[in-house]
């Protein structure tokens, strides 16, 4: 199949000249990987390597995606065309070009668009959809992926990424297109008036909403110093602006503030990886900073480093999320601002610690699948019914949402709230690591970690499916020394517990497996929706952190042996 696709592209008169030049330099293996399949347009949109080919992100596959989204917007009715679509983009190679192609394709269907004048964070795009009363939104970003990647995310009229039922409508339109090279990537001159450039006015309204989340706006900020890095991405302007307006002392990692698509001055733009903090830690040591905050390129995720015992400790997304929960719920309680029926959201692969903290404050927890769109969907539901009131939402992957005027992860909000929490606890003589230790003493020790296997290309995709199939077709009764007391399969929608099988309900179908162990620990496995990875999540409960770490190492070894 890849040879047929390759020949169709190389001979097509509409093939972009730059892509044609690149194709001419590719070897057989590269051609196979670029053409063996169509890049997946899934429930999270598209994300992939830049370059020519049906399995790559380029102007032609972006045009194809936009034709699918345009037909979805047209299907919403005449009013949706004039409501239009907000379009944002990050610092990556081709992001601006893909944003313009998106606006042109929408205009060719007589759909209005609002395109940001320059790069903006993903959460601000979500906000713009809501503020401008748009019918949808597009964000051109590959989030935290390496420089070779770019991506395309879609939003509904509430500023939430399309949930599966809506995404499927777009997918059906996209899959019906047989010749992506035959699609125009421009519009008529008279249709260009449908494209409006936006910028400062939306920025100011977004900043104003972010600043409103402060729980103690007049807290003493004099004794706390923050090192901040946007990792060459979109957080640079908004976080600096918000900190300046709210009076926090911060030092920006200037080498990582330029919107460099090659991420030249960072080992990785992913705050889940230690290499993202190398330069920030150097700054922090030099400045004797209390807090390090590192955002990913589209500013929906925030990584955290804390000065503790004269060293810098990196926190996981589970840990920073737990600290935010503790600070916010404690303040809501002390200030008599806790709503009547509070609810906190996280995912099925998020640590149990956050739920324990929420329960301590009589706050309900509801779990969703991985993907903040599912949390956004819950927010929208309760906004209508009034049954419960949102207080917090987060994922283990360094993403949280303080106030739901945005319907996606929002790093600028998280940066502001964590800075406030740092000031509050420092006044008590505590670091955020001390706060975390207090939470462990109160609720139990949890070793939360993730192991990912990167398996690229056609063979890698097959290997990932082999791992999941092996697990699904094997009745796993014990892992290491612990009995499996409950098994959940979110693809086959089944639960096995006490030798009985029943239906798993309340979730969209998803390729996720989860094993609950007799000691209170659990292990979850899922393929990444955005990278060629198979992810193993561990939430290991121990009597101390040392005990949890030892147990966690044994469980990881057992799973490695089991999955070969």
Whether 143 is catalytic is: yes
Interhelix angle 317-334/432-443, rounded to 10 degrees, is: 80
Q: What contacts 445, CB < 8 A, 6 or more positions away?
A: 541, 542, 543, 544, 545, 547, 548
| Token pair in block for residue 433 | 């690591």
**Distances 296 to 150, 380, 400 between C-alpha atoms, Å:** 14, 26, 13
Q: Are 435 and 425 in contact (CB under 8 A)?
A: yes
Q: How many helices (H) and strands (E) does the chain have?
A: 18, 23
Q: Are 107 and 126 in contact (CB under 8 A)?
A: no
Query: How many Å apart are CA 556 and CA 442, to the nearest integer?
Result: 26
Of 395, 250, 370, nearest to 316 by C-alpha is 395
Query: How many Å apart are CA 62 and CA 351, to the nearest integer?
Result: 36
**Distances 462 to 41, 527, 533 between C-alpha atoms, Å:** 18, 11, 11
| Token pair in block for residue 369 | 């699948």
Of 292, 70, 330, 280, nearest to 185 by C-alpha is 70
**Distances 2 to 9, 30, 501 between C-alpha atoms, Å:** 11, 11, 42
| Options 108, 126, 143, 351, the catalytic residue | 143
**First-to-last C-alpha distance (Å) of the chain:** 30
| Token pair in block for residue 535 | 């992810």
| Token pair in block for residue 301 | 């995720």
Query: How many Å apart are CA 17 and CA 22, to the nearest integer?
Result: 9
Enumerate the active-site residues.
143
């Amino acid at each position: 199949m890849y040879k047929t696709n390759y020949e169709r592209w190389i001979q097509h008169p509409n093939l972009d000249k730059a892509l044609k030049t690149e194709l001419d330099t590719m070897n057989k293996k590269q051609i196979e990987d670029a053409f063996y399949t169509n890049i997946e347009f899934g429930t999270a949109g598209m994300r992939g390597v830049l370059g020519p080919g049906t399995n790559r992100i380029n102007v032609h596959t972006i045009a194809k995606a936009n034709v699918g989204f345009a037909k979805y917007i047209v299907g919403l009715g005449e009013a949706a065309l004039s409501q239009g679509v907000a379009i944002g983009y990050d610092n990556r190679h081709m992001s601006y070009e893909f944003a313009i192609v998106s606006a042109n394709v929408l205009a060719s269907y007589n759909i209005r668009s609002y395109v940001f004048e320059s790069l903006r964070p993903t959460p601000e795009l979500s906000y713009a959809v809501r503020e401008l009363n748009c019918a949808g939104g597009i964000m051109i970003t590959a989030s935290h992926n390496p420089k070779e990647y770019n991506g395309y995310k879609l939003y509904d009229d509430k500023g939430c990424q399309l949930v599966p039922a809506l995404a499927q409508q777009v997918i059906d339109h996209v899959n019906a297109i047989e010749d992506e090279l035959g699609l125009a990537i421009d519009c008529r001159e008279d249709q260009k008036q449908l494209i409006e450039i936006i910028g400062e006015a939306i920025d100011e309204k977004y900043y104003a909403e972010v600043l409103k989340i402060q729980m103690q706006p007049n807290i003493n900020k004099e004794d706390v110093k923050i090192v901040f890095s946007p990792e060459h991405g979109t957080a640079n302007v908004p976080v600096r602006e918000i900190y300046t307006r709210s009076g926090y002392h911060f030092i920006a990692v200037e080498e990582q503030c330029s919107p460099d698509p090659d991420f030249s001055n960072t080992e990785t733009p992913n705050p889940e990886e230690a290499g993202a903090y190398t330069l920030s830690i150097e700054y922090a040591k030099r400045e004797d900073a209390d807090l390090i905050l590192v955002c990913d390129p589209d500013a929906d995720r925030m990584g955290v480093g804390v000065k503790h015992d004269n060293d810098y400790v990196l926190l996981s997304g589970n840990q920073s999320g737990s600290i935010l929960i503790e600070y916010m719920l404690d303040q809501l309680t002390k200030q008599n601002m806790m709503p009547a029926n509070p609810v906190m959201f996280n995912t099925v692969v998020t640590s149990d610690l956050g739920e324990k903290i929420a329960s301590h404050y009589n706050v309900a927890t509801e779990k969703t699948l991985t993907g903040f769109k599912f949390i956004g969907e819950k927010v929208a539901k309760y906004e209508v019914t009034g049954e419960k009131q949102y207080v917090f939402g987060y994922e283990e992957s360094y993403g949280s949402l303080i106030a739901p005027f945005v319907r996606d992860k929002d790093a600028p909000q998280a940066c502001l709230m964590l800075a406030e929490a740092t000031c509050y606890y420092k006044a008590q003589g505590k670091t955020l690591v001390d706060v975390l230790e207090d939470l462990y003493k109160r609720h139990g020790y949890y070793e939360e970690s993730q192991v990912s296997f990167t398996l690229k290309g056609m063979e890698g995709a097959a290997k990932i499916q082999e791992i999941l199939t092996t697990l699904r077709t094997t009745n796993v009764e014990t892992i290491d020394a612990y009995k499996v007391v409950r098994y959940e399969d979110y693809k086959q929608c089944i639960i096995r517990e006490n030798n009985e099988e029943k239906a798993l309900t309340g979730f969209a179908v998803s390729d996720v497996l989860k094993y609950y162990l007799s000691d209170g620990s659990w292990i979850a496995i899922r393929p990444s929706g955005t990278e060629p990875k198979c992810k193993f999540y561990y939430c290991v409960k121990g009597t101390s952190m040392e005990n949890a770490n030892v147990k966690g190492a044994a469980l990881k070894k057992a799973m490695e042996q089991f999955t070969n």
